[in-house]
Amino acid sequence: LNITIVPTASPESTVAEVIRVFQQHGPIAALGIGSFGPIDRVAGRITSTPKAGWRDFDLAGTLRAALGVPVGFDTDVNAAALAEARWGAGCGLSDFVYVTVGTGIGGGALVNGQLLHGTSHAEMGHLRIPHDRGRDPFPGCCPYHGDCLEGLASGPAIQARWAAAPESLAPHHPAWRLEAHYLAVGIANVACTLAPERIVLGGGVMQQAHLFDVIRAELRGQLNGYVRAPEILPPQLGSRAGVSGGLILAEHAR
Ligand SMILES: [Zn+2]
């Protein structure tokens, strides 16, 4: 795998550099894009992003026109889910969910072996979950919903609640029990909705390996024996999951 990193600047300059890289290393037969979201997958556009200049940008169309190849377009987290399902922690499973917990929270699901798409893409990070303000007075930091899952459990939420960088908090800090609780609530909702065999948790926050056992115990408690708890595991492809998923998106390019 040959990886070139182009920092995200304005859409025009970033895409011009991407085109230059592919022209230099090409020709290519097809292109797969795992984009930050939210996106309009069918139209090939970024939609309501706060990233300057990217709102409504026709990313797939611009690259398709410049490179003259079919383009597969989906979210970064769906691309990572595809890659983990084929080559990583979900290998061989037909019902599998990949969740990333970092600056945001996002999830991609394989259901019956197919990537799940509704009218758009799943937004598991914005699940509404119970918030006990006695235990946790932090109001949440999602600009759209306040105390959705991402607003309560993303890296920036941990940072804002405890006024400390998450990676600086010791494993016995109460931040982590609360974090495991929120993630387990979100995962319980995903498990009840999709009944996956396994849920893989990746992203910067999940570098805290001690979280996994606490999340598993919380999840078993919340499901309370009613349904079988899915396996909870770390990813296997690390930072290569997204680009590897791009290869699979390219297979389905049009
Ligand atoms: Zn939200």
pLDDT tens string 189-229: 999 999 999 999 999 999 999 999 999 999 999 999 999 99
How many angstroms separate the alpha carbon of residue 87 from the centre of ligand 1? 30
Distance, in Å, from the CA atom of 82 to the CA atom of 92, rounded to the nearest integer, reads: 11
Diameter of the chain measured on Cα atoms: 59
* CA–centroid distance, residue 143 to ligand 1 (Å): 7
Tokens at 45, concatenated? 């556009």
Instruction: Count the residues in the chain.
Output: 254
252 Cα to the center of ligand 1, angstroms? 30
User: Taking residues 170-195, what's their average pLDDT?
Assistant: 97
Coil, strand or helix at 148: strand
CB 38 within 8 A of CB 61: no
For range 239-246, the mean pLDDT:
92
**How close is the Cα of 50 to the center of ligand 1, in Å?**
14
Total Cβ atoms within 10 A of residue 33: 23
DSSP 210: T
pLDDT at 239: 84
pLDDT at 49 over 90: no
Q: Which residues surround ligand 1, an ion (CB under 5 A)?
A: 126, 142, 144-145, 148, 150
What value does the mean pLDDT of the chain take? 95
**In the prediction, which pLDDT does 125 show?**
96
What pLDDT is recorded for position 132?
97
pTM for this model (two decimals): 0.93
Which pLDDT does position 26 carry in this prediction?
Answer: 83
Q: What is the pLDDT of residue 78?
A: 96
pLDDT of res. 248: 96
Give Rg (Cα) of the chain: 19
